[in-house]
Structure 1
Amino acid sequence: MSDHIRRNTQHVSCQNQLKFKYVLTDSWFCSNENMRYIKHNCYKNFVMACKSNRLISLSEGDKRHKISQRVDTLEFQKGQSVKVWIAGVDFALLLSKEVFKNRDGSTGELYLLCSDLDCSDELIQAIYQKRWNVEVFHKSLKSNAGITRSSVHAIRTHRNHQFLSIYSAFKLETLSLKLNLGKFGFKAKLYMKTLKTAFTELQSLKAVSA
C-alpha cells in the first residue's frame, strides 16, 4: 500500500467518523510526511516502528543545531521511553525499545515512535501489539480471499471485488471460530470437500456416458 493510498484511507476513516485513537504502522510507512499528516490532518496519534538507523535528537536545541544520533546507539532504562525530536517533524515523540527473542534463539530489537507523550513505555508496546491481528487479517485477505488476484480494470468492478473479498474473509473467520478450526485449516477442509464433490460428479457423468 503506497503512502498516498494509506493517507487517503486515514482521511476517509476520519471523514466517516470511525472511532479510533491510534494509527499503527510498520517501519515501511514511518515517514515524516505520514507523521505530520496523522497528527495535523487527522488529529490522531500514532505508534510506528522505525528502523534502527533512524536519526533522532535528544532535545529541541540539538535538533536546531542538527545534532543527532542513531536510535540503536541510545541507552534505554528498562521500562522507560525517551523523549526525542526528528528533523522534519514539528512535534516531540516518545521512543520505545522492545527486546524479544526469535524462534532460533537470537535476540531482536524493535524501536517504536509514539506521538502521544502521555503514554507509558508499557502502554506503547501494548498498543503496537494490537497491530499483529491486522497483519493476520491481511494475510487471510490475500491467501484465502484472493483480494490481490483481480484481473478487472473498471473502478466499480474492482471495488466490488475488494468488498466481496473482505466480506469473504469475515465470513471465513466466523465459520472457523464456530467450527474451532484455523482459517487455513478450514479453507483446506472446504477445498477438499469441493474436490470430492466435483470428482463424484465427474464419475456420475462418466457412468451416464458409458
Structure 2
Amino acid sequence: MPYKIFLGSLATTIAFVAYIPYFVNIFRGKTKPHAFSWLVWGIISGIGFLAQLTEGGGSGSWVTGFGALVSFVIFSLALLWGDRHFSRFDWMSLLGAGIAIFLWWLTGEPLLSLILVIIIDALGFLPTFRKGFYKPYEETATTWGLNSLKFMVALPALESFTLTTWLYPVYLVLANGTFVTMLWVRRKRR
C-alpha cells in the first residue's frame, strides 16, 4: 500500500513542521509549555504508539511515535523555560493521569487500555487547556492546528483499521482542534 506509506510520511512531516514554531517560540520565551501535560503526553503517546504497532497500525502509527519523542523533548524544555507554576488542579490532573496509567498497566485488553490512554491524555491536557484559557498567547496555535491535521492525515494511513487503531487518533483530532479553536476565540476576546 504505497499510498499508506505516503500518508504516514506526510503526517509525520506535518508533525515535524508543526513543532518548528513551537520550539522557536519556547526559545523566544513566547510559548511556555506546561511540564505536566508534556510528561503525560510523552508516556501515553509512547503507549499508544506501541498499542497501534501491536494491532497492525503500520505507517499510520509513525506520527504517534514521533509525537512521543517530541513530547519528552518539550517536557525537558518545559522544566527549564515553561510554566512552572503548578496549581492544585495541575497536581490533581497529574495524580489522576498517574492512577490511570497504573490501571492501564493492570489491564491486558487493548481496547480498554486505549480508552484509559484517552482518559489519561484528557487529564494530562487539562493543565495546558486551563493555562491556554487564561493565557491564550502563551501557546502556539499553529502547532495545535497542525497537530489536528497530522492525525487526520494519519487515519487513512493505518494498515489495520480497527477501533483500537483509529480511536486514539480521532480523539487527538478532536482534542487538538478544540484547543486551537478555544485559543483563537480567547485571543479575539482580549
For the aligned pair, the TM-score class normalised by the smaller chain equals: under 0.3
- TM-score, normalized by length of structure 2? 0.28
Larger radius of gyration: 1
From the two aligned structures, give the one with the greater strand fraction. 1
- TM-score, normalized by length of structure 1? 0.26
